Chains A and B, each alone.
Chain A
Amino acid sequence: MDWIEHLRSDENVALRKIYTDYRQPCLHWLRSSLNINHEDGIEIFQMAVIILYDNVQKGKLRSLTGDIKSYIFSIARNKSLELHRKYKREIRQEEFSTPLKSYIVEESILEKENLEERIETSYKALQILGDPCKTLLQLYYYKSMKMEDISQLMGYKNAATTKNQKYKCLRRLQSIYQTHKIQNDSVG
């Protein structure tokens, strides 16, 4: 099965299948090979699946050299080592308790200063913006879809109309930052 294509075309079904197929083997492997307990194992496995999904959506992962199981296990292995290091530094509570947040911060394209706060601000502004703008921007900026494809999905007349709508959405987003006085260095 082409999991990458499946994750792009029918992501919820693909994620569910990957999760249920590889959860138990991964937990077993983490326990027997790396001495990771069940609770941490679940967290590590979930992060591995999220990272797989993120890499596909960002276009970082376009094809698999091995099978998907090896890919997930290799991420899980790296995450386990991180976990061991964090245990060693006795800071697990602060950092690993929110693994998704840690991953997002680590992989962010934004400048590192006040990063967590700025990421949260971007997220909050998008929630205020709402649909259809939020979806349009997500399809364009996160899923890197072409204007033509977005037009078809969202029922816009053509790529030019969609592009114009995107511009209006960005203007609205900027005004949300101003109206709600979201102070954020990253948006000027």
Chain B
Amino acid sequence: MTPLGNEKDIDILDRYIYGLSGQEETTEVEERLRRDVSFRDTYNLLLSVSEGTRVDGLSEKWSQLRSIESNISEDGGIATEQETKSNITEKKKKRFPYIRIAIAAILLFLIGMTAGKIMKKNNEIVMPVAELEPYIRHETIRSSQKKQLLTDDQQMAYNNYVLRDFRDAKPLLKNLWDNDRDTLALYYLGISQWYSGEESKAKEILELPFYNTYEKPY
């Protein structure tokens, strides 16, 4: 693989890929693509990035739709816009009660396991285990392959966050934002602040336009 082209070449290729080049520039680009290997490699890399970002975006949305669907299916698969909230609540009440009891037992067990960790924190809101779920956006599967996706600092900070150990997580997340501009870390910092009772600080972060599409606890 040849070295990446310079910024000027990338600008030219970006314009070419999005059909924004003029006729003269298009001809020049196509000529260079034929004879300049490095230029062609850069072009192929940009095409690949363009496709990769699209796949990444669509995969995320696909999961989101699946999740909405499974919520609807849990409500009997016939939830429609005509269905009022009271109808949904009524249906839930009629469901087989043992499923709820089993879920409650599992949750109680998990809460018991982690309660000490959560409750020792000063002024922190005690939250149910499942409540953080919507605010976890990174892969949490443990495998050697997945671990490579995060740096050691990210792993430590994110793990503390997932464990709702917000007091320890916050400085680590802040460092990730300050040093690496890790936007996910900043989002996690906002959520951690919210659940630590620092609501206004949390909102300052979570209201950034960047997090428009992210789940929020309020």
Contacts and interface: CB of A to CB of B under 8 A. Distances in A.
Interface of A: 9-12, 15-16, 19-21, 23-25, 38, 42, 46, 49-50, 53-54, 57-58, 100, 104, 108-110, 118-119, 121-123, 125-128, 130-132, 134-135, 137-138, 141-144, 152-156, 163-165, 167, 170-171, 173-174, 177-178, 184-188
A138 B55 contact: no
A9 B57 contact: no
B40 interface: yes
B200 interface: no
The SS class assigned to the B binding surface is helix
B50 A100 contact: no
Interface residues of B, number: 57
B45 A170 contact: yes
Given A119-B51, A122-B49, A126-B52, A152 B209 contact: yes
Interface in B67-83: 68-69, 72, 77-81
B206 to A, nearest CB: 14
B148 A128 contact: yes
A24 B208 contact: no
Contacts of A53: 58, 61
A167 B62 contact: no
A135 B149 contact: no
A171 B4 contact: yes
Given A154-B210, A174-B4, A100 B49 contact: no
B10 to A, nearest CB: 7
Given A127-B149, A153-B208, A167-B7, A186 B44 contact: yes
Given A104-B54, A118-B48, A142-B53, A128 B149 contact: yes
A54 B54 contact: yes
A20 B68 contact: yes
B40 A108 contact: no
A46 B65 contact: yes
B31 interface: no
Contacts of B180: 132
A134 B56 contact: yes
Contacts of B148: 128
B183 interface: yes
